[in-house]
Amino acid sequence: MAKSKKDDVKEVVEEVATEVEETTEEAEVAPEADFSEVDKLKNECKDVNEKFVRLQAEFQNFKKRTEKEKSNLYKYANEKLFVDLLPLMDNMERALSSTESGSDGIVEGLKMIKKSLDDIFDKNDVKAIEALGQPFDPELHHAVMSDDSDDHASEHVIEEFQKGYTINEKVIRHSMVKVSK
């Protein structure tokens, strides 16, 4: 027995009607569940987005910090070398100051060596700290003595025992000084 087209259409309509009823029943039972799940997903999405933004900011801060550390590393890479050269500079200055009279050749040789050291220091931004007559500054000076002085203002450097130096404006050795009371 052959089915007619009417019977086929009837069956299809009944199947569709059944599916619509089932879908409607499910929709009537769980509309609140669907919306709460949507809200839950929105909140999760918002949390993930906030975490992403925070992580991105932390990464930017890390990059900036790393660049600054790298810059400082290059800027102060020669610090140890110049700390090691400081005693040589001190000895040269002592030798020059003690040779008031003597052979001109020795004095000239010492002056040329001192000039070479000064050029190296200048080239690498190593500068002597001016101390004599300056107000005492604990960030630049190391007071080893104090003395009453009528010629100098209170808390001023009246004698320098050892020069202090900076490299790129960072103190690598404090000036050893006598301070007026």
How many domains are contained in the chain?
Answer: 2
- In this structure, the answer to whether residues 42 and 128 fall within a common structural domain is no
Beta-carbon count within 10 A of 86 CB = 17
Residue 100 pLDDT: 64
How many contiguous H segments (helices) and E segments (strands) does the chain have? 4, 6
- The overall pTM is greater than 0.75: no
Per-10-residue mean pLDDT, the chain, length 181:
67 72 57 73 92 94 94 85 84 75 71 86 91 94 91 90 93 95 87
- In this structure, the answer to whether residues 146 and 66 fall within a common structural domain is no
Residue 113 pLDDT: 84
Q: 103 burial class (0-12, 13-18, 19+ CB within 10 angstroms)?
A: exposed
Element spanning 167, H or E: strand 165-167
Residue 164: strand, helix, or coil: coil
Q: Which domain holds residue 84?
A: 79-180
Inside any domain, residue 176: yes
Residue 25 pLDDT: 58
Residue 143 pLDDT: 95
